[in-house]
Amino acid sequence: MAAAAAVVWRMLPLLILSLALLITITNRRRSELFPANYATLATTDGLCSTVEAHGYQCQEYNVTTGDGYVLRVHRIPAAGLRDQGQFSSKTNQPVLLQHGILMDGMSWLLAPPQQSLAIILAENGFDVWIANSRGTRWSRGHTSLSPDQPEYWAWSWDQLAQYDLPTVVNFVHEVTGQKLHYVGHSLGTLIALASFSEHKLVEKVRSAALLCPIAYLGHITTILGQVAANSFIGEMTGWLGVVEFNPKIEAVDNFIKAICRQPGIDCYDLMPAFTGKNCCLNASTVELFLQNEPQPTSTRNFVHLAQMIRGGDITMYDYSSVNENMKHYGQKEPPAYNMSNIPSDLPLFLIYGGQDVLSDIFDLHLLLDSLKFHQKDKLTVHYIHNYAHVDFIMGINAKQLVYDHVVAFFMRQQ
């Protein structure tokens, strides 16, 4: 079993790349193959119905990014205020929760309420705001494009950092009139780190807690490095660049199952293959997770991450064409994000797990190394040896191991 699991782990990059390839091919003829088959995706149950079922107030907003994406933002006001029937703007400090890749705002509310970070923060007097990245079920609007058009998917995490994040941060800042605390998970940490490294948002962010920080990716796995190093990726990039990566499409699901029937591959549990061996999951929470996630993202987002795995550095998306790079960046190579440029007085809280295959310990140490001149009293680092990627958002003991520390950290940054 262990050997089989190891094979799956090592096959992960191939799985992702094959999936990306398959989706590209199918998407090119999607009108034939998938006549707008988004039934499972367009779950109408809003996030607010879950929050309200737990007995808390909830509000929805739509905000539009500079490049036209209409993003849904959810808000859970501090629990102490919930009986007033009013959203008080200036009393409580806002916290923004930013989910990771293939997830959405629901990822903060899958566990029972007393174990969910969003509710725990509200109970501790924070004004909780929840972001939903472009392309996920509640953030599929656009001023001129539709998700059926390839142009809609022409973005990677660069644009999440450049447009989605500042749009939401500015909105929360405007509505509350206060600097905000930030919580990112997985890709939600990378887009914040990238922004901070360009000295963006820092005047509006009071502090940031990063769960499973992702920055350097060069050490995810040996095989991944090898696959990514293959020029094959670069060649595919051009035509992989503009489509939706939606694991819920039935053909994709079938494709995964077909891969899992290959000799030597045992996908008896795909989650550990994607995230590491999570120690502390609750079966009911996992069931809810599978009902709600994964959410779509753009294939280009994966290609961008694959480029970082191959390169081992943190750069903007490489169009793999001098002309295109010149057009977008005014230089032949994509510009790098320099993590050492993060303002050294920005209060940061990093927490990572020993079983996490996505936020590898070696890569995490590269990040810490680039933060070595960060003011000592502004950088808090925690390590949980048996935690993997998903434990951080829904582990049964995440309150004690993660969230209580996050709350205490925010309290110290008043």
State the nearest-atom distance from the C-beta of 146 to ligand NAG, in Å.
Answer: 12
The answer to whether 31 is a known catalytic residue is no
Nearest to ligand NAG of 48, 273 (CB atom): 48
Nearest to ligand NAG of 163, 302 (CB atom): 163
Among 43, 282, 315, 344, binds ligand NAG (CB under 6 A): 282
Q: Using the Cα atoms of residue 18, residue 311, residue 299 and residue 16 in order, give the sign of their dihedral.
A: positive
State the nearest-atom distance from the C-beta of 284 to ligand NAG, in Å.
Answer: 4
Give the residues across from 35 on adjacent strands.
none
State the nearest-atom distance from the C-beta of 60 to ligand NAG, in Å.
Answer: 5
Which of the residues 186, 207, 320, 359 is marked catalytic?
Answer: 186
The answer to whether 356 is a known catalytic residue is yes
Nearest to ligand NAG of 221, 282 (CB atom): 282
State the nearest-atom distance from the C-beta of 72 to ligand NAG, in Å.
Answer: 6
State the nearest-atom distance from the C-beta of 256 to ligand NAG, in Å.
Answer: 26
Nearest to ligand NAG of 21, 396 (CB atom): 396
Only segment of 116-124, 170-178, 203-211, 279-287 that touches ligand NAG (CB under 6 A) = 279-287
Only segment of 16-24, 36-44, 277-285, 400-408 that touches ligand NAG (CB under 6 A) = 277-285
Nearest to ligand NAG of 80, 141 (CB atom): 141
- Which residue from 239, 293, 355 is spatially nearest to 43, judged by alpha carbons? 293
Only segment of 46-54, 154-162, 337-345, 379-387 that touches ligand NAG (CB under 6 A) = 337-345
Which of the residues 127, 164, 318, 356 is marked catalytic?
Answer: 356
Among 49, 146, 230, 338, binds ligand NAG (CB under 6 A): 338
State the nearest-atom distance from the C-beta of 398 to ligand NAG, in Å.
Answer: 10
Nearest to ligand NAG of 34, 61 (CB atom): 61
The answer to whether 186 is a known catalytic residue is yes
Interaction residues for ligand NAG, span 45-74 (CB under 6 A) = 60-62
How far apart are alpha carbons 217 and 270 in whole angstroms?
Answer: 21
Which of the residues 74, 142, 185, 389 is marked catalytic?
Answer: 389
What does the H/E/C string look like for the chain? CHHHHHHHHHHHHHHHHHHHHHHHHHHHCHHHHCCCCCCCCCCCCCHHHHHHHCCCCCEEEEEECCCCEEEEEEEECCHHHHHHCCCCCCCCCEEEEECCCCCCHHHHCCCCHHHCHHHHHHHCCCEEEEECCCCCCCCCEECCCCCCCHHHHCCCHHHHHHHHHHHHHHHHHHHHCCCEEEEEECHHHHHHHHHHHCCCCCCCEEEEEEECCCCCCCCCCHHHHHHHHCCHHHHHHHHHCCCEECCCCHHHHHHHHHHHCCCCCCCCCHHHHHHECCCCCCHHHHHHHHHHCCCCEEHHHHHHHHHHHHHCCCECCCCCCHHHHHHHHCCCCCCECCHHHCCCCCCEEEEEECCECCCCHHHHHHHHHHCCCCCHHHEEEEEECCCCCCHHHHCCCHHHHHHHHHHHHHHHCC
Per-residue x/- mask for ligand NAG, residues 383 to 402, rule CB under 6 A?
A: -------------x------
Per CB under 6 A, does 285 bind ligand NAG? yes
Nearest to ligand NAG of 77, 247 (CB atom): 77
> Among all residues, which ones are annotated catalytic?
186, 356, 389
What residue ranges bind ligand NAG (CB under 6 A)? 60-62, 112, 141, 282, 284-285, 338, 340-341, 396
